[in-house]
Amino acid sequence: MRRLAWALAALALLGVGLAACGKKGPPVAPERRLPAAASALEASVEADAIVLRWVNPKTRVDGTRLRDLATVKLHRREEAEGTALRSAMVSRGQVVGYEEIASIRLEAPEPAVVRGDSVQWVDRRGLAVGRQYVYVVTALDSTGRSGAPSERLVVGYVAAPGPPRNLAAAPGEGQVRLRWEAPSGLIDGSPLGGGIRYLILRAAGAEAPLAPITLEPLAATSFTDTGLENETTYRYAIRAVRSVGAGTARGEASPPVAVTPVDMTPPRPPANLVAIPSPTAVRLAWNPSPDADVAVYAVYRATGSGAFLRVGTTAAINTVFVDREVTAGARFRYVVTALDRARTQNESPRSNEVTVQVP
């Protein structure tokens, strides 16, 4: 029995030794394996909502790659303006003193919008004009372990202006002239107040989304958009931006309008027109217009001292025209013009005038 006890003790010691041999290093503290904090938290007041955006973490606190990010949570609290901000600490999965207003599972994030590591959330929950809200984001891995909160973000909820009124657009040569009127008031029904400026939104074609084309909002209620493609249809809308103290709010965009810049510059005229008469026809030839956008040439004829009338056209690749509607013994005058490819064609000045006598 004593030998059996010794054998069992030896096996136990061997097992401990084998287990020890499997160790690869000292244990890692659990807090160092937590997800890192979300970053780049920002917000804008958009009409009746606060739109928040942030970037999810890619690593854990110890710098290793975070492969199993599962959920991000958005937390909010209300703070009186001018008071010191309350710290944000995680305890038992919650941020102490903050209300959890969104839990976004990344495998099914709706209604959040997730593009890569970027997340957007629209907060409309119980917002009150004139209040100040503080937001933080926490990230959780697949085991439910929560990292530290993001940096705190303070947002003042300002009443947004209504949409600008009576937007009008006038086309020009490679440009569009816009005019509009200020909103009639704020979306909470109060009179228009605060510093009101405007963002110009534009899209090419009927399907593209409208996007701002001005880096900073404008104070004026008119704008000329230049450098556009003629014969391309653009859509425009105007959005009012209101600033009150440190708070800024953007209202809904005006109804869009469509407009097409037009080519208003005529081509240069053809030159060196010559005419060779015969008993049954007059053959005309000329040097082409030097402009590349010529679509056709138009031939005009006058009898004696009468007015010129168009008697035919020919494609721009041709610089010859034969007029067979002539009468023997008649005296005719001819000129040629160039017309471009614009939707409403521009016509050049006339070429030199030639006179012929039909034999």
Give the tens place of pLDDT for each residue, 292-309.
999 999 999 999 889 999
Work out the pLDDT band at 24, boundaries 50, 70, 90: low
Nearest Cα residue to 323 out of 315, 331, 312 = 312
Torsion of CA 102, 103, 104, 108, to 10 degrees: -120
Q: What is the mean pLDDT of residues 98-121?
A: 96
SS3 labels along the chain: CHHHHHHHHHHHHHHHHHHHHCCCCCCCCHHHHCECCCEEEEEEEECCEEEEEEECCCEECCCCECCCEEEEEEEEEEECCCCCCCCCCEECCEECCCEEEEEEECCCCCCCEEECCEEEEEECCCCCCCCEEEEEEEEEECCCCECCCCCCEEEECCCCECCCEEEEEEEECCEEEEEEECCCCECCCCCCCCEEEEEEEEEECCCCCCEECCCCCECCCEEEECCCCCCCCEEEEEEEEEEECCEEEEEEECCCEEECCCCCCCCCCCEEEEEEECCCCEEEEEECCCCCCEEEEEEEEEECCCCCEEEEEEECCCCEEEECCCCCCCEEEEEEEEEECCCCCCECCCCCCEEEECC
Contacts of 343 (CB under 8 A, 6+ apart): 231, 260, 262, 263
Residue 285 pLDDT exceeds 90: yes
What Å distances lie between residue 104 and 97, 113, 121, 322, CA to CA?
Answer: 20, 10, 9, 77
Mean of pLDDT values over 180-206: 93
Per the listing, tokens 């391309």 go with 232
Does residue 298 contact residue 347 with C-beta atoms inside 8 Å?
A: yes
If one counts every other C-beta atom within 10 angstroms of the C-beta of residue 36, the result is 20
Question: What φ, ψ does residue 257 adopt, rounded to 5°?
Answer: -125, 150
CA angle 224, 236, 123 (to 5 degrees): 125
> Where do the domains of the chain lie, and which CATH numbers do they carry?
31-156 (2.60.40.10), 165-259 (2.60.40.10), 271-357 (2.60.40.10)
Q: CA separation (Å) from 239 to 153, 159, 335?
A: 25, 14, 52
Round to whole Å and give the CA distance between 224 and 309.
40
Residue 184, pLDDT > 60, answer yes
CA 353, chain centre distance (Å)? 53
Is 194 buried (19+), middle (13-18) or exposed (0-12) by CB count in 10 A?
Answer: middle
Percent of the chain residues past pLDDT 90, beyond the cut: 77
Burial class (CB in 10 A: 0-12, 13-18, 19+), 45: buried
Query: In the structure, what pLDDT confidence band is assigned to residue 56 with cuts at 50, 70 and 90?
Result: very high
Distance CA 314, CA 319 (A): 8
Report residue 30: phi and psi, to 5°. -55, -40
Backbone phi, psi, residue 9, to 5°: -65, -40
- Give CA–CA dist 52/119, Å, rounded: 8
Q: Cα separations (Å) of 235 from 94, 211, 212, 261?
A: 46, 10, 12, 11
Higher pLDDT, 305 or 211: 211
Mean pLDDT of 108-136: 94
**For range 84-98, the mean pLDDT:** 86
What average pLDDT does this structure show over 35-42? 96
Say yes or no to pLDDT of 11 above 60. Answer: no
**pTM (two decimals):** 0.71
Q: Using an 8 Å Cβ cutoff, are 302 and 325 in contact? A: no
